[in-house]
Amino acid sequence: MATHSGAEQAPDEDDDDEAEQLLPGTSFLLFNAVPSWLTSMIVHIVLLIVLAFITLRSPLDDALHELYVGDANEMEEIEDFDQDDMPEIQVESPNIEITELTTVDAVPETPVITPADDLDAAAIMVDLEALGERTAPKNDLLASVGTFSGTGLTGRGARARATMVRDGGGTPGSEAAVALALEWLANHQQQDGGWSFDHRASRQCQGQCPDQGNSPAARNGATAMALLPFLGAGKTHKEGNYKQVVQRGLYFLVSRQRQANKGPGSLWEDQGQMYSHGLAAIALCEAYGMTKDRKLMGPAQLSLNFISAAQDPGGGGWRYNPQNAGDTSVVGWQLMALKSGHMAYLVVDPETVAKANQFLDSVQAESGAVYGYTGPGNGQATSAIGLLCRMYLGWRKDHGPLQHGAQRLAEIGPSTTNMYYNYYATQVMRHMGGEKWKTWNTTMRDYLVERQNKEGHTKGSWIMNDAHRSHGGRVYCTSLATMILEVYYRHMPIYQQQAAEDDFRL
C-alpha cells in the first residue's frame, strides 16, 4: 500500500513565548492542578472525536479502485490532454468525466470459478514492478530495458520503428496505410470510449460506412480489437497523437472489467465470450507493458488471473465459457495474452502455461507441424495459431516440426478470404525470416495496401470477403489488416542472430 510521509515542522519559539505571556501558569494548571482522571477523560474524548472523522477503506476497495469510470450519462468532457498531439481529423470527445486514477500496490487473489471448486486461482505477487529485474527473462529477446520495458514491444518506439520497417520489408506505402487506418478507427470510437462491431453508431459515422458486424454486444472484443492497432504503432495514453483516444478505450475496458459477472478480472461477455476476454487482456497487458503506468497494473494482472482460473482443468485449453474443453482458436488469444503479460513482467502462473502446452500436444499432428481445432488435424488457421504458440512457448527455429509447418504455410501463401489465418501466419513467417518471409511479405503487404479504401468516409478501412466479416464487419477487418501491416515492429523477432530460448517455455 502506498505510504505518504512529511517532515514535522518545528514549533515557533516566539509563538510559545507569546502564549506563555498571555496565559501565565497554563502549563501548571493543565498538567498538575487538574486531576488525572479528568485529564484522561479529555484525552479520550479528543481521540474519539478525531476517529469519528476518519473513514476506513476496505482492502478490496483499495485493490479495485485502480481505475474507475462513472456512468456514461453523468460524465463530462476530458480535459487533461495535449490537443496539439491530436490527429488532424479530430475525434469528437463525448461529454464524459473520468475519475482520477489511483495507484494499486496489491492485487487480490482471484476466487475460484465454479463448478470446479477445487481449482486454485493464479498465484499473485504484490510488488510486481519492483520484481521486474528478478523475474524478467534473461535472453536475447528480453535483454535490455528501454522505453517499452526492454521487452518484445520495444520495436514500437519511434526511433526503432523506422529501422524495423526498413529492415523488415515495410514501405512508406504500408506505413501510410497504417496511419489512415488509425484515423478511421479513431473516428469510429463510440461516445462511451469503446468501440462496437456495428460501427455505424459512432457520432462521426452516423451510418455512412456500410458492412457493419452483427455482434454489437461484443463491446469488449470490439474495443480491444480497435485499441491493439494503436498500441502496435506505439500510440498509448501517455505518448503519441492519439492519447485521448487510447485513454478513453482503456477506461472503457477497465470499467467493464469491474462489472463482469464471471469473476474478478473477467472481460467475458455474452457475445465474444472468452475471445473478448483474451483480446482485452492483451490490450491491457500491452498498455501496461509499454507505459509502466501502475494504474493499469491491477487490471492487467487481474485479467491474467482470470485466464488461469478459466482454463479447462483437465485438458488445459480454453473455449467459449470458463473451464470449457478447449479449442485452438480461443487458446491462441489466451496464450498471446499470457505472453503479453510475461513481456510486461506481470505474474503468469507456470502451471497455466504448462497445461496450455499439453493442450497443443493434444491437437497437433505430424509431431506438431500442423494443428486441428479440438483434436489432431491440419487446418490452415489452426496450424498457424499452433505454430505461433509453439514459438512463444520455446520451440527453437531449427526444430523440425516448426520448419515443416512454416514450409507448408509458405506453400499455401497469404489468403484473400481468411484474414484470421493471415494474421497468425504472417507472424509465423516474420519470425522465421529468410527468403520465405520476403516472398510472403511482398504478397501480403501489397495486397493489403491495394485493398484499403481510399475515398469517402470509409477511407482508411478494409472490408474483406472473410468468413468472419458477418460477425466483426469493418472494424474486425480493419484491425487485423492494420496489425498485419505493423508486423515489422509490433513484436520483436523471436529468433535473433543467436537463437534464444524464452523463459516462458516450461
- What is the C-alpha separation between 278 and 37, in angstroms, rounded? 65
Who contacts 225 (Cβ-Cβ below 8 Å, separation ≥6)? 195, 279, 472, 475, 476, 479, 480
pLDDT digits (tens, 9 = 90+) for 440-485: 999 999 999 999 999 999 999 999 988 888 899 999 999 999 999 9
* Phi, psi (rounded to 5 degrees) for 70: -75, 180
Is 26 within a domain? no
We report the CATH number of the domain holding residue 468 as 1.50.10.20
- Residue 130: how many other CB atoms lie within 10 Å: 11
Tell me which of 375 and 168 has the higher pLDDT: 375
| Contact (Cβ atoms closer than 8 angstroms) between residue 183 and residue 87 | yes
Tell me which of 93 and 236 has the higher pLDDT: 236
Q: What is the gyration radius of the CA atoms in the chain, in angstroms?
A: 27
Is 52 within a domain? no
pLDDT digits (tens, 9 = 90+) for 309-343: 999 999 999 999 999 999 999 999 999 999 999 99
Q: Hey, is 43 helix, strand or coil?
A: helix
Q: Could you tell me the three cell numbers for 148?
A: 517499452
Residue where the block lists cell 489488416: 481
Q: Residue 357: its pLDDT value, please?
A: 96
Per the prediction, the chain carries an average pLDDT of: 77
| 166 pLDDT more than 50 | yes
pLDDT band at residue 156 using 50, 70 and 90 as cut-offs: low
Highest mean pLDDT among 31-35, 66-70, 86-90, 219-223: 219-223
What percent of the chain is predicted at pLDDT more than 70? Answer: 66
Is 13 within a domain? no
The domain total for the chain is 1
Is 55 within a domain? no
Q: Hey, is 69 helix, strand or coil?
A: strand
- What is the C-alpha separation between 336 and 158, in angstroms, rounded? 24
Is 281 within a domain? yes
Q: Could you tell me the three cell numbers for 24?
A: 501565565
Contacts within 8 Å (CB) and 24+ apart, 84-91: 85/240, 85/241, 85/243, 86/241, 86/242, 86/244, 87/182, 87/183, 87/186, 87/241, 87/242, 89/183, 89/186, 89/187, 91/186, 91/187, 91/189, 91/204, 91/244, 91/245
Instruction: Give the mean model confidence (pLDDT) for residues 345-354.
Output: 95
* Phi, psi (rounded to 5 degrees) for 265: 90, -10
pLDDT digits (tens, 9 = 90+) for 351-406: 999 999 999 999 999 999 999 999 999 999 999 999 999 999 999 999 999 999 99
> What is the number of H-type helices and E-type strands within the chain?
18, 2
Who contacts 387 (Cβ-Cβ below 8 Å, separation ≥6)? 371, 402, 405, 406, 409, 424, 428
Cis peptide before 115 (omega within 30 of 0): yes
- What is the C-alpha separation between 431 and 428, in angstroms, rounded? 5
pLDDT digits (tens, 9 = 90+) for 172-181: 999 999 999 9
pLDDT band at residue 162 using 50, 70 and 90 as cut-offs: confident
Is 330 within a domain? yes
Q: Could you tell me the three cell numbers for 262?
A: 464471471
Is 474 within a domain? yes
| Contact (Cβ atoms closer than 8 angstroms) between residue 313 and residue 323 | yes
Q: Could you tell me the three cell numbers for 9?
A: 515542522
* Phi, psi (rounded to 5 degrees) for 67: -145, 145
Q: Residue 51: its pLDDT value, please?
A: 62
| Contact (Cβ atoms closer than 8 angstroms) between residue 165 and residue 178 | no
| 257 pLDDT more than 50 | yes
pLDDT digits (tens, 9 = 90+) for 402-428: 999 999 999 999 999 999 999 999 999
Domain coverage including residue 466: 61-485
Q: E strand or H helix at 371, and its extent?
A: strand 370-371
Q: What amino acid is encoded at 505 in this protein?
A: R
